[in-house]
Amino acid sequence: MQQQELLADVLSDLVRINNDRVEGYEQSIEATDDVDLKALFQRMIDDGRRYASQLYDELVALGEQRHFGTTAAGKLYRTWMDIKTVFTGHDRHAILSFCEYGEDAAQRAYSSALRSDTPMSYRIRELIANQQKALRNDHDIIKTYRDVQRIVY
């Protein structure tokens, strides 16, 4: 496989992970009545869309024009979340745990992209690293909300 195609695959995976995040947070907005969580999740949706767009722009610059959805694992997890929501109701802790799981998956995908042997320009590596740092911050926010929720109960 050519180096450019390998890089396109790495970027495509990150686009799909961000699409998973967007769908996961859209589902989380529907699962809660809490205004603070809805606002937080909407910000994360906006960020996920922006990150996916930035990565897609890099793909276009490489001459790639792909159509993107989400990952199979993300779809399975959201289906499980639908079922879990039916049984747990709109439990704040459960919703935040779901979101943290998604953020963990995003961190793994970004770490894998940065550790890969795929040649990439400094600019692309920096973009991926900066997005991962922002996503780590989002993860920490979700974790803090979840931990505070655990203490409240």
**pLDDT (tens digit, 9 = 90+) per residue, 119-133?**
999 999 999 999 999
- How many angstroms from the chain centroid is the CA of residue 115? 18
**35-61 and 122-152 are packed helices; what angle lies between their axes, rounded to 10 degrees?**
170
Q: Is 87:38 a contact under the CB 8 Å cutoff?
A: no
Q: What is the rounded distance in angstroms from the CA atom of residue 68 to the CA atom of residue 57?
A: 13
Q: What is the rounded distance in angstroms from the CA atom of residue 38 to the CA atom of residue 43?
A: 9
Predicted confidence at residue 47, as pLDDT, reads 97
For the chain, what are the domain ranges?
3-152
Rg over alpha carbons for the chain, rounded to the nearest Å, is 16
The segments of the chain whose pLDDT lies below 70 read 1, 66-90, 150-153
Predicted confidence at residue 3, as pLDDT, reads 84
Predicted confidence at residue 150, as pLDDT, reads 65
Tell which residue, 114, 112, 138, has the closest CA to residue 124: 114
Query: What does the block give as tokens for 61?
Result: 């610059």
* pTM assigned to the model: 0.84
CATH assignment of 3-152?
1.20.1260.10
Residues 6+ apart with CB under 8 A from 52: 14, 15, 18, 19, 22, 68
Q: Is 131:110 a contact under the CB 8 Å cutoff?
A: yes
